[in-house]
Amino acid sequence: MNHEALDGIMHPKAIAVVGASATPGKIGYTVLDNLIKQGYTGTIYPINPSAEEILGLKCYPSILDVPGQVDAAVITIPAKLVPQGVEECGKKGVKGLIVITSGFSEVGKRELEDEIVALAHRYGMRILGPNIVGVLSNSDGMNASFAPYLPLPGKATLVSQSGALLIAIDAATYTRGVGFDKMFSIGNMSDLDFADIIEWLNDDPNTSCITLYIEGFKNGRSFMDVCRRATKPIIGLKAGVSAHGAAAAASHTGSLAGAAKVYGAALQQAGVVQASDLDNLFDRTLALSLQPPMNGDNLLIITNGGGVGVLATDSAERYGLPLKFAPPEVQAELKKHMPDFGSAKNPVDLTGMAGNEWYHDAVKYAYAHNWVDGLTILYCETAVTNPMEIAQSIKAAIDESGVNGKPVSVSFVGGERSEKAMAWLVEHGLPAYGAPDRAVNAMAALREYARMKAIASESITPCGDEGRAIAMKVIEHARLDGRDSLTEIEAKQVFSAYGLPVTRTKLATSEDEAVKLAQEIGYPVVMKIVSPEILHKSDAGGVKVNIKDEASVREAFRTIMANAKDYNAEAHIHGIAVQEMAPWGTEVILGSVNDPTFGPTMMFGLGGIFVEVLKDVTFRVAPVSSSQALRMLGEIRGAPILAGVRGESPRDRAAMAETICAYSTMILDLADEISESDANPVLVYAEGKGVKVVDARIILKKK
């Protein structure tokens, strides 16, 4: 259905403008004028009950009066009239609607928006919008928007949640020389959303890179699924990553901007390359739309200036592509194309004496060499070289190398002549930038894309046990009890049902039972109060550790009970948990949230000050495979601690990864039940010795 509607919207044989106007300046005029004058070759039907003819076209009072088939309709009538307009489009058999009109959920009118979507669906139509600028397509010669012109032609397609930004970017394509085939304004995403459009664009022969301006998603998981399946590069700029910015985004489009860290994780898991800002979105789009991914870490830089070489070297490190020296035979060959005082290491410095031939020969050789995974070519405008000729030499060298599928980026630092040479390079498929940092960043985008696609395409093998039946029994019992949190014992039962290694923990309701359980478990034991009303057990004097014999068990039982009553006389005491005392290990924390956008999401971090002071944690949307989990262990700042520092042996990262994987299975399986949870601390032992969840907490979703 998506494809049919979007085919209708993007390749209509006939299009209606519902609300066409004869008054210049009105949106209904601009859209019609744009359709007529900017290359659309299908039939255009202006719809307006009070006009006979607009801009030379016969006007119809209602779309129902149009004689022929209509594939798409642009709606520009006032919001309150839109339902009727949608209904008439439905009756007419229109496939898709471009609802430009604003005044819906973005100003609180959610019901009106729901109404038009329901109406559209009743007739098998899909809605783009409302509250949008429209859609533009170079390859279809169609400007079905009130943006003044089609963008500079190119191979990327923009999908923008901000209409104002789309118009501005449209204009900027010309001054920046970054071309787009299509632009979609998606506004309130009442119906067609990012996922639908990405799915359609992945099959669009005129789009080689999908560029997103994102404020928030309605359904993060369908977005992730579509991106993961996509075979084209996708790049996103997520706005609203600051606390203050997120608030602004919410008021702007009425969609909830999720936490920056969760968005970051989700985009990465989905294989979406991220842009840091608007300039970066243009730069990375250019590279991703023109060049293949970079499938290895060996970046070679060729330059005619030491200064820009050093700057590029700094940038390479900054963007995760630290330079390595090229192998001796590469250096030996490159040495032939430079004076004695040049450098054949990396950056390869051909020196300011480098002319067309040296550039040509060095680039041709380096690009073809197996060691080189990606090539960045820098040029500083000099008084004795011609930038256009250098550009042509570079392009010829790449073409003559006989090699394909390896990325190249270029930076010329200079004036007008360099600008023209770079525009020529871009026209010929080589992304070129006015500063070395940007060329290296572009290469980093191509590397990130390759890395993420490899990860996103991994299949996820679930870990742990399928403990739903047991878990639901525990949860239902708590709900019957009127509670929306589980006790530690209950939470451990749920964890255990999914194969998480919890400390053995049993509930004693009497002193004698406590003694019996302690003997079963084996000394030393830990004893803790179990009460739904006492969450901070230590504060209540409800925890005793390292209990070594029967007498101490009895004493602890009495003390804990007395302390609990002192602390909260009204508390319901389930009893006292008697637990295996786990030997000390490296303290980590696992946790989950049910993110409003992405659903069940895992958090991992080191315990203690790492989480409390440094916020050194990392997220993944569930499910998390063991190999993904291993990456989580490696990406926190405290990662060396798990690898073993100060003479300590490495920790059992494999077991930790399995535990994260099983945990993620649990929160996904119980997505409708668990709101938040944590396992804190989890103790990680030396390699082969496993992990142990010492304390557990589950907060249920309110039902």
- Is 568 among the residues that bind a second copy (CB under 8 A)? no
- Is 623 among the residues that bind a second copy (CB under 8 A)? no
Give least dist CB 135 to a second copy, A.
16
Q: Contact region for a second copy (CB under 8 A) — 246-254, 459-467, 665-673, 688-696?
A: 246-254
Q: Contact region for a second copy (CB under 8 A) — 82-90, 408-416, 490-498, 682-690?
A: 408-416
Give CA–CA dist 39/77, Å, rounded: 24
Q: Contact region for a second copy (CB under 8 A) — 398-406, 433-441, 500-508, 679-687?
A: 433-441
- Is 154 among the residues that bind a second copy (CB under 8 A)? no
Give the residue among 307, 314, 261 at the shortest CA–CA distance from 441.
Answer: 314
Binding mask 106-145 for a second copy (x = CB under 8 A): xx--------------------------------------
Which of 438, 451, 492, 537: binder of a second copy (CB under 8 A)? 438
Which residue type, as a one-letter code, is found at position 597?
T
Distances (CA, A) of 242 to 129, 155, 693: 26, 31, 34
Give least dist CB 313 to a second copy, A.
4
Give least dist CB 269 to a second copy, A.
21
What ranges make up the beta strands (E) of 519-571? 525-530, 543-547
Which residue type, as a one-letter code, is found at position 140?
D
Give CA–CA dist 225/247, Å, rounded: 27
203 or 612, CB closer to a second copy? 612
Which of 7, 297, 389, 419: binder of a second copy (CB under 8 A)? 419
- Is 681 among the residues that bind a second copy (CB under 8 A)? no
Q: Report 372-401 residues binding a second copy (CB under 8 A).
A: 380-384
* Cα dihedral: 331, 335, 337, 340 (round 10): 150
Cα 364 from chain centroid (whole Å):
36
Q: Report 168-197 residues binding a second copy (CB under 8 A).
A: 168-176
Give least dist CB 30 to a second copy, A.
7
Q: How open is the CA angle 219-223-228, to the nearest 5 degrees?
A: 150
- Is 409 among the residues that bind a second copy (CB under 8 A)? no
CB distance 700 to 486 below 8 Å: yes
For 257, which DSSP code?
P
- Is 347 among the residues that bind a second copy (CB under 8 A)? yes
By the 10 Å C-beta count (0-12 exposed, 13-18 middle, 19+ buried), 608 is classed as middle
Q: Report 630-649 residues binding a second copy (CB under 8 A).
A: 637-638, 640-641, 645-646
- Is 307 among the residues that bind a second copy (CB under 8 A)? yes
- Is 318 among the residues that bind a second copy (CB under 8 A)? yes
Give CA–CA dist 204/322, Å, rounded: 36
Give the residue among 399, 407, 392 at the shortest CA–CA distance from 444.
Answer: 407
Give least dist CB 283 to a second copy, A.
10
Give least dist CB 648 to a second copy, A.
11
CB distance 604 to 633 below 8 Å: yes
- Is 225 among the residues that bind a second copy (CB under 8 A)? no
CB distance 157 to 182 below 8 Å: yes
- Is 659 among the residues that bind a second copy (CB under 8 A)? no
Q: Contact region for a second copy (CB under 8 A) — 90-98, 248-256, 488-496, 591-599?
A: 248-256
Residues 6+ apart with CB under 8 A from 615: none
Q: Report 203-222 residues binding a second copy (CB under 8 A).
A: 213, 215
239 or 590, CB closer to a second copy? 239
Which of 207, 268, 304, 392: binder of a second copy (CB under 8 A)? 304
Residue 682: left (phi > 0), alpha (psi -120 to 50), or beta? beta
Scan for tokens 């790492």, then name that residue: 610
Scan for tokens 């495979």, then name that residue: 625
Q: Contact region for a second copy (CB under 8 A) — 136-144, 221-229, 316-324, 674-682?
A: 316-324
31 or 581, CB closer to a second copy? 31
**Residues 627-642 as b or e (16 or more Cβ within 10 Å = b):** ebbbebbeebebeebb
- Is 541 among the residues that bind a second copy (CB under 8 A)? no
Q: What are the residues facing 273 on neighbouring strands?
A: 235
The number of residues that bind a second copy (CB under 8 A) is: 92
- Is 316 among the residues that bind a second copy (CB under 8 A)? yes
Give the residue among 476, 502, 498, 500 at the shortest CA–CA distance from 488.
Answer: 502
- Is 163 among the residues that bind a second copy (CB under 8 A)? yes
Which of 42, 83, 306, 429: binder of a second copy (CB under 8 A)? 306
Q: Contact region for a second copy (CB under 8 A) — 15-23, 115-123, 146-154, 509-517?
A: 146-154
The two tokens of residue 355 are 């002319």
DSSP string, 594-653: EETTTEEEEEEEESTHHHHTS--EEEEESP--HHHHHHHHHHSTTHHHHH--TTPPPB-H
Which of 584, 613, 688, 702: binder of a second copy (CB under 8 A)? 613
- Is 165 among the residues that bind a second copy (CB under 8 A)? yes
- Is 305 among the residues that bind a second copy (CB under 8 A)? yes
- Is 55 among the residues that bind a second copy (CB under 8 A)? no
Q: Report 63-92 residues binding a second copy (CB under 8 A).
A: none
Give CA–CA dist 418/174, Å, rounded: 17
Q: Contact region for a second copy (CB under 8 A) — 91-99, 288-296, 414-422, 541-549?
A: 414-422
- Is 30 among the residues that bind a second copy (CB under 8 A)? yes
